Amino acid sequence: MTRRTALLAGVAGCAGTAVQTQPRDEKRAPVVNAAEHAWVVNDPRFPIKPELATCPQNLPTYDYSGEWLLEEMKTYNIDHTVISHVCYYGRNNDYTVHCVKTWPGKFAGFGLLVGYRLYPPNDKENPARLERLVKEGGLVGLRVSPIYDRDVVWFNDPVCYPLWKKAEQLEATFNVFLAPHQVKQVGDMAERFPGVNVVIDHIAMIDIAAPDSDGFGHLLDLARLPNVYVRTSLHNPSKTRQLPYRDVWPFLRRLYDRYGPKRLVYANFAELLIMKELIPFFTAEDKEWILGRTAHRLYKFDRAASRAASTGIPGGACAALCNAM
């Protein structure tokens, strides 16, 4: 049993729910897993190269492929999944592009381009790379991770303005992985570029034992900006690390009260049952938005199939594109 399988079984036990494949009800709201990674280790089309990886000391020995994600989606009755391009591939976005194109309408994808062990923020080619990734690669935006540069401020540096301006033109979305002290930087950019939807990953890695002034208060303040969303990720802030992460629920409630269900998105298979079955303050309508309606609109799944088809690059044939980036 893998760690993920054990985690899913534990969540199902907490919820008193059997995890099993169920028939798709066409009338129900869509369910969207808003953040998974995907990779393969033995496919020569998609080699994992340590010199490109942003996490070269933590490379995988097993597959977590698009095919596997589809099987998990059947098990949990999930309609769509957002693939956040994994650190193992670094700036080579081939595999995420492959998944989006091979299974159009099932997956949306975020690429990696700028930041730690990627292209430097001041590289003037970054806007053009983003445009190719969206228009030719069929992806919906970028994951940007200033958390890996905790002591270097570049996220809201003017050198990044052209990239954000291009993102506005493309109607791209940025998923942002950051540390609590970097939250204000997101506010600077989200306010300056209101046409870019920004999703805060992992509840900004808040320390739930720290005062609001250390980060969580700033995250709550960002609710004033309508283009800022928050992705729930209860396991990261949890101090107990015990399912179903009840110590984080009060913070989830405060996010819910400030942002509302239409600007919260859930992510990962394990968290689905927690959000669907256990959180006591979500209404049935809230769950429809948090479990899928918000992500379906945010990640353009209504346009996903046509977007992938219009790029004209068949699945598995994107190496020239990605290498050109």
Q: How far is CA 277 from CA 15, 21, 157, 284, in A?
A: 6, 17, 42, 10
* DSSP H helices in 126-241: 126-135, 161-170, 183-192, 216-221
CA–CA separation, 164 and 95 (whole Å)? 24
- Average pLDDT of 31-43? 97
Cis ω before 244 (30° cut-off from 0): yes
- Which residues sit opposite 108 in a β-bridge? 82
Share of the chain above pLDDT 90, in %: 83
pLDDT at 303: 76
- Confirm if 214 and 234 have CB atoms less than 8 A apart: no
Instruction: For 150-161, write each residue's pLDDT tens digit.
Output: 999 999 999 999
Contacts 24+ apart (CB under 8 A), 234-241: 234/271, 234/274, 235/270, 235/271, 236/202, 236/203, 236/205, 237/202, 237/203, 237/205, 237/206, 237/207, 237/208, 238/208, 239/208, 239/209
Task: Give the 3-state secondary structure of residue 80.
Answer: strand
- Residue 77: is it exposed, middle or buried by C-beta count within 10 angstroms (0-12/13-18/19+)? middle
The candidate with the shortest Cα–Cα distance to 107, out of 96, 122, 116, is 96
Q: Are 139 and 84 in contact (CB under 8 A)?
A: no
- Over its C-alpha atoms, the chain yields an Rg (Å, rounded) of 19
pLDDT digits 0-9 by tens, 59-80:
999 999 999 999 999 999 999 9
Residues paired with residue 82 on neighbouring β-strands, in sequence order: 108
Query: Is the pLDDT reported for residue 204 higher than 80?
Result: yes
Mean pLDDT (the chain) is: 90
Task: Tell which residue, 320, 323, 318, has the closest CA to residue 139.
Answer: 318
Distance (Å, whole) CA 113 – CA 59: 19
Task: Name all domains of the chain by residue range, CATH numbers in brackets.
Answer: 30-324 (3.20.20.140)
Contact 140, 109 (CB under 8 A): yes
pLDDT band at 128 (very low <50, low <70, confident <90, very high): very high
For 135, other C-beta atoms within 10 Å of its C-beta total 13
CA distance 65 to 50: 19
- DSSP of 119-131, one letter per residue? B-TT-TTHHHHHH
Q: Which of 37-41, 105-109, 166-170, 266-270 has the lowest mean pLDDT?
A: 266-270
Which DSSP symbol is given to 317? -
Residues 6+ apart with CB under 8 A from 175: 35, 84, 110, 141, 142, 143, 144, 199, 201, 231
Q: How confident is the model at residue 9 (pLDDT cuts 50, 70, 90)?
A: low
Distance CA(201)–CA(178), nearest Å, equals: 7
Q: Are 134 and 170 in contact (CB under 8 A)?
A: yes
Residue 278 has a pLDDT of: 97
Provide the token pair at 177: 């992985």
pLDDT classification of 311: cutoffs 50, 70, 90: low
> Residue 281 in 3-state DSSP?
coil
Distance from C-alpha of 19 to C-alpha of 6, rounded to nearest angstrom: 12
pLDDT over 60 at 257, yes or no: yes
